[in-house]
Structure 1
Amino acid sequence: MREALIVWGGWSGHEPEKGAEIVAGMLQESGFKVYVENTTEAFADPGIAEMSLIVPIVTMSKIEKEEVENLTAAVRGGVGLAGYHGGMGDAFRDSVDYQFMCGGQWVAHPGGVIDYRVDVTRPDDPIMQGIASFPYRSEQYYMHVDPSNEVLATTTFSGEHAPWIKGVVMPVVWKRRHGEGRVFYSSLGHVAAEFETPEMREIFRRGMIWAAR
């Protein structure tokens, strides 16, 4: 049986505990044995190197040197990593090693929660297969992203809330490699209720399965 570790914490506005419960249920439905922790100390456990998948749900917060070193080593060794929104893309702002692994870092969400469009750019990819571009309401993440990411979906900024970024096309969903590990990220999911959007939920479910070894 494949095993997955979910670590939640950080800023409460992203409802990390609720998110962890939903993600745990999704993984259990897919046949994983799931462990849930609410401290970054879990990343320092040498045993995570034997996991199939790690899902961080920790907005902002801090990560200790030994924790990030053990986590990144586990992923380089083949453990999968998957995350969403600020739980992975705005975690541990002072850790460039963590950001290097994830492939991006949140920097702004002009306008806050707004209506925007998610454009599927790789409909041929198994993660996106059968999913058409769709309207979405959430924070539209503006991110600094790694050019080596394999981008699966994007969004285009209208410029209404920050005129200087009008027309900017920003990755929303991507996958990548970090050493031997597979890394998946989706910027969708500001609050737990967004998992009720079928496209968001299915994209993340498939992404986790893809990332897991």
Structure 2
Amino acid sequence: MKKAAIFFGGWDGHEPEQTTAIVKKLLETENFEVHTYNTLDLLEDKSQFEDFSLIIMNWTMGEISFPAIEGLRDLIASGIGLAGWHGGMGDAFRNNAEFQFIVGGQFVAHPDNIRDYTVNISNTQDPITQDLTDFPMHSEQYYMHTDPSNQVLATTTFSSIESHPWVNGTTIPVVWKRTYDKGKIFYSSLCHVAADFDVPQAKELLRRGMLWAAK
């Protein structure tokens, strides 16, 4: 049985406990043994995670120690997958450039806050997106700075933005995958709160992405 670790914490607005519970159940249905942790300090001793297949980061606007980021980096470089969603991974450690380099992007804004927008599947041939089509979301539409080496699977285009009209017409990645040494990285900017997992396409993208990333 594969093992997955979910690290959850940080800003309560992203409902880290509730979303962790959803993802834990999702992985358990895929026969993962799932361990959840509300501290990052455990990563300072990477040896206890060397037999894991997947690490999930769900820790918005937090801080991570140098030994912990070193441990996480080494685990991923060895081949353990990393996956996450929304601010739990895309806005986890704003002051840590190394983590952002691993993830391949960083949240910078969500113009007009909660709004209606469309997620466009940009790569229909990838196993993560196969058979999925464009779908609507009513949530935060993330504006992100992203790594050009990412393999982008879905995008969104900003339109009718009142608070920051100069971004109208801009297309931003929503879902991507990438590698870091031997490790596989999956990220989705969807699922601001637990209720967003009720959107079947958003939940399915994360499920497939986690399975792809797992060692």
Could you tell me the TM-score, scaled by structure 1's length? Answer: 0.98
Equivalent residue, structure 1, for 2:12: 12
Distance, in Å, in 2 between the alignment partners of 1:142 and 1:93 is 15
Distance, in Å, in 1 between the alignment partners of 2:112 and 2:204 is 26
Equivalent residue, structure 2, for 1:44: 44
Distance, in Å, in 1 between the alignment partners of 2:56 and 2:130 is 23
Distance, in Å, in 2 between the alignment partners of 1:66 and 1:187 is 27
Distance, in Å, in 1 between the alignment partners of 2:141 and 2:166 is 15
Please show how residues 149-168 of structure 1 align to structure 2 within 5 Å.
Answer: 149-161=150-162, 162-168=164-170
How many residues end up aligned between the 2 structures? Answer: 213
Please show how residues 52-63 of structure 1 align to structure 2 within 5 Å.
Answer: 52-63=53-64
Please show how residues 19-30 of structure 1 align to structure 2 within 5 Å.
Answer: 19-30=19-30
Q: Do the aligned residues in 2 keep the contact of 1:117 with 1:155 (CA within 8 Å)?
A: yes
| Partner of residue 199 from structure 2, selected from 178, 197, 200 | 197
Question: Where do 4+ consecutive residues of structure 1 move more than 6 Å?
Answer: none
Equivalent residue, structure 1, for 2:131: 130
Aligned-pair RMSD on alpha carbons? Answer: 0.8
| Partner of residue 177 from structure 2, selected from 175, 178, 185 | 175
Equivalent residue, structure 1, for 2:113: 112
Q: Please give the secondary structure, in 2, of the residue aligned with 1:67.
A: helix
Q: Do the aligned residues in 2 keep the contact of 1:59 with 1:92 (CA within 8 Å)?
A: yes
Q: Do the aligned residues in 2 keep the contact of 1:7 with 1:42 (CA within 8 Å)?
A: no
Q: Please give the secondary structure, in 1, of the residue aligned with 2:69.
A: helix
Q: Which runs of 5+ in 2 are unaligned?
A: none
Distance, in Å, in 2 between the alignment partners of 1:43 and 1:210 is 23
Q: Please give the secondary structure, in 2, of the residue aligned with 1:154.
A: strand
Deviation at 1:42, TM superposition (A): 2.5
Identity %: 50
Distance, in Å, in 1 between the alignment partners of 2:3 and 2:45 is 15
Q: Please give the secondary structure, in 1, of the residue aligned with 2:111.
A: coil
Could you tell me the TM-score, scaled by structure 2's length? Answer: 0.97
Distance, in Å, in 1 between the alignment partners of 2:108 and 2:199 is 24
Does 139-148 or 47-56 show the bigger shift? Answer: 47-56
Q: Do the aligned residues in 1 keep the contact of 2:161 with 2:167 (CA within 8 Å)?
A: no
